Amino acid sequence: MSNTDIFSPFQLGPLRLANRVVMAPMTRNRAGPGNAPTALNATYYAQRAGAGLIVAEASQVSPQGLGYPGTPGIHSAEQVAGWKLVTRAVHDAGGRIFLQLWHVGRISHPSLQPGGALPVAPSSIAPAGQAWTLDGMKSYVTPRALDIAELPGIVAQYRDGAANAKAAGFDGVEVHAAHGYLLDQFLRDSTNRRSDGYGGSAANRARLLVEVMEAVAGVWGGERVGVHLSPTNLAFNDISDSNPAETFSTAVRTLDRLGLAYLHLVEPGPADPVGPGPRLDAAFFRPLWRGALVANKAYDLARANTVLRGGAADLVSFATLFIANPDLPERLRRGASLNAPDRKTYYGGGAKGYIEYPPIQG
């Protein structure tokens, strides 16, 4: 056991982080016209610049990657200009910020797609549930399976998104391969029934993710690129895997060879049910990963320090606590009380429930 705690600085590749508190990416559905960030978003992120690292909300790498109204993109000049407002504000406040690159795959609806097209996926399997559209909730549709000839174009979307994030002034990028979105759909055998080189074995199902990570690292260098995985998903977005330990061990071992900055791992939370097989937490993946490991899921200060001191993780990310507590690291340092979040204002809207939570006094 080390005496490292969450307030210790950390060297993440070329970046010196002031502490080991990471602000996890959180969709807030407050982008402006053209799905471009605005001054409101800049204020929100600058308020939270006390985090050692901010990972900004998932941002679609193409119009095809859109799955929800009001989520920002990183594929147009207007969006790059909007993100420049954010990165400038965070840097002026002394913070570090990465952008999370996103393609939702089948978790979309034709009303959100260019020309009303079907959403795309590894296989033509409709998710259960409903999509949030501009016209209210609508049942998901059966997606169109991507042809193998289209997959280089998907990789190019991520590469272009990475280049646009660099132009927007970010310190690095994180690729979203979690929570049932496109790259996770390729990883898991419940959604990937392909018979070509991107389906079947765990190695084949990880192939698109690996190609995306290679492309993004080609833009940034691996030392400024992270990847987000959720081996324990609890069926969010109607996704599962028959053998997640094998699937994600294969993926993590392969990604480890690329020299990436970090693995951002969504673990089972303290109250989450865990089925048969190993507990897919930071301790399970630590021997498979040489880079930094970011642990995530319902952490408080005590649990965060325990996982850091035990060496299973190097950083810990917090999500909901950052919504209501823009100065979360300082509150944790002082042992101060925390603001309670207003769930009704999590998604969409304006300043209320977004930038109006009070900072600590004194």
Query: What are the helix and strand counts (H, E) for the chain?
Result: 11, 14
Pairing of strands 97-102, 172-176: parallel
32: nearest Cα among 46, 22, 43: 43
Please state the φ and ψ torsions of residue 99, each to the nearest 5 degrees: -110, 140
Residue 31 sits at the vertex; the CA angle it makes with 235 and 46, to the nearest 5 degrees, is 100
Helix axes of 151-167 and 77-92: crossing angle, nearest 10 degrees: 40
In the annotation, is 181 catalytic?
yes
11: buried, middle or exposed (CB in 10 Å: 19+, 13-18, 0-12)? exposed
Q: Say if residues 254 and 166 touch (Cβ distance below 8 Å).
A: no
C-alpha span between 99 and 71 (Å, rounded): 13
314: nearest Cα among 336, 291, 335, 331: 291
Question: Residues 68, 181, 198, 262: which is the catalytic one?
Answer: 181
**68 token code pair:** 């929800």
End-to-end CA distance of the chain: 34
Q: Say if residues 191 and 42 touch (Cβ distance below 8 Å).
A: no
Active-site residues: which are they? Answer: 181
